[in-house]
Amino acid sequence: MASFARSIRLIAGAWALLLILTASAPSIAQQSQINPTASSVRERQLLQEFDRIQGRVSIPDQRSSVLIQPAGREWREFRTVALRWVGGIAILGMLAVLVIFYLRRGMVRLEAGRSGRTIVRFTTFERFVHWMTATCFIVLAISGLNITFGRPLLLPLIGHEAFSEWSQWAKYAHNYLSFPFTIGVVLIFLMWIAGNIPNKVDVDWVKRGGGIVGRDHPPAYRFNAGQKAIYWIVVIGGGLVAATGYELMFPFYLSGIEGMQFAQMVHATVALLFMAVMLAHIYIGTIGMEGAFEAMGSGTVDVNWAREHHSLWLEEENARAEANARPRPAVTAAE
């Protein structure tokens, strides 16, 4: 009887084992056919075919369901590598060019010396708009540079606590000063557009080295070709940084994530090149040319400065002053 019971247990155990083996057989067969790299291939294909890999979330903000946005990797690469190189080369390169230029050319002097007579070049309102925009620009540039280069360059020097405190203030400044800066760019556009339309005189001015490369004094109206270039860079560059900046400042209002990545790329690239150009503008307005700073400082320039750098403008101003000074014809009885 005992041997019968042992036989039954043996048969039952064999059946159970067989059942387990048959149940798992298909999966074992399947596993042996699987290409070990197949799952990663499938992920790569997914990443190529879709612009995002999305899950499901129960919170109201559905944007948080995006797990992977492949383009974000390229954007991060641009922001942390390419942008820093482009910006660094543009700004340091411009500084190097200006230092070399100054050492070779020195300050452009007033050839005829000062006459002692002055002429109004910019009104109080024009100077106010210029300095308001320039001050905002400098603060926006410093706070923007902190966003691009602060982490690798400043953080190791001042430590985490000071860096986060400073970055927070810099961010407030960047956000709030964007408004007066935008107003300044619009006013500059309206205020000086009349004098900044390119014309034939500009071609000749450029061909003759603009009086800064050589020792020539090519004629110019109120703004020469170099100043016109700066004007259009400010208007177009300022317009671009403003439009893209507001897109970043109000996330998801104007575009989705791809739009904001593109906006950041335009904003940062234009801003860094803009800074490089403005260094050249600041150079000519200060140590590069004798008498230039006064135009935006006191608002007046020496007549000899006007003759050497803006002869056609001086002629226009003299003609206007003469016309205003001429006595008006007397009203006749017939009238």
In the DSSP assignment, the letter for residue 108 is B
In the DSSP assignment, the letter for residue 197 is S
The reply on whether position 178 binds ligand HEM by CB under 6 A is yes
Of positions 75, 122, 181, 205, contacts ligand HEM by CB under 6 A: 181
Beta carbon nearer to ligand HEM, 212 or 266: 266
Question: What are the contacts of 254-262 at 24+ separation with CB within 8 A?
Answer: 257/63, 257/66, 257/69, 257/72, 258/51, 258/71, 261/71, 261/72, 261/75
Question: What are the contacts of 104-107 at 24+ separation with CB within 8 A?
Answer: 105/212, 105/213, 107/287, 107/288, 107/289, 107/290
The reply on whether position 86 binds ligand HEM by CB under 6 A is no
Q: What is the largest CA-CA distance in the chain?
A: 154
The reply on whether position 129 binds ligand HEM by CB under 6 A is no
Q: From the centroid of its chain, how far is CA 167?
A: 18
Beta carbon nearer to ligand HEM, 212 or 233: 233
The reply on whether position 133 binds ligand HEM by CB under 6 A is no
The reply on whether position 310 binds ligand HEM by CB under 6 A is no
Cα pseudo-dihedral 95, 98, 99, 100, rounded to 10: 120
Least distance to ligand HEM from the beta carbon of 35, Å?
41
DSSP string, 255-302: --HHHHHHHHHHHHHHHHHHHHHHHHHHHHHTTTBTTHHHHHHTSEEE
Distance (Å, rounded) from C-alpha 41 to C-alpha 37?
A: 6
The reply on whether position 155 binds ligand HEM by CB under 6 A is no
Stretch that binds ligand HEM, among 66-74, 93-101, 114-122, 175-183 (CB under 6 A): 175-183
The reply on whether position 309 binds ligand HEM by CB under 6 A is no
Beta carbon nearer to ligand HEM, 273 or 296: 273
The reply on whether position 130 binds ligand HEM by CB under 6 A is no
The reply on whether position 261 binds ligand HEM by CB under 6 A is no
**Residue 196 in contact with residue 223, Cβ under 8 Å?**
yes
Of positions 225, 268, 280, 295, contacts ligand HEM by CB under 6 A: 268
Considering only residues 24 to 43 of the shown chain, the ones binding ligand HEM according to CB under 6 A are none
Least distance to ligand HEM from the beta carbon of 323, Å?
41
The reply on whether position 75 binds ligand HEM by CB under 6 A is no
Structure tokens at 28: 């074992």
Q: How many residues sit in the footprint of ligand HEM (CB under 6 A)?
A: 27
Structure tokens at 199: 């014309």
Of positions 219, 245, 288, 291, contacts ligand HEM by CB under 6 A: 245
Residue type, position 33, single letter: Q
Least distance to ligand HEM from the beta carbon of 296, Å?
19
Distance (Å, rounded) from C-alpha 47 to C-alpha 73?
A: 11
Of positions 229, 241, 284, 295, contacts ligand HEM by CB under 6 A: 241
The reply on whether position 182 binds ligand HEM by CB under 6 A is yes
Least distance to ligand HEM from the beta carbon of 160, Å?
17
Least distance to ligand HEM from the beta carbon of 63, Å?
17
Least distance to ligand HEM from the beta carbon of 84, Å?
8
Which of left, alpha, beta for 324 (phi over 0: left; psi -120 to 50: alpha)?
alpha
Residue type, position 152, single letter: P
Of positions 187, 248, 277, 296, contacts ligand HEM by CB under 6 A: 248
Residues in contact with ligand HEM by the rule CB under 6 A? 79, 83, 137, 140-141, 144-145, 147-148, 171, 174, 178, 181-182, 241-242, 245-246, 248-249, 264, 267-268, 271-272, 274-275
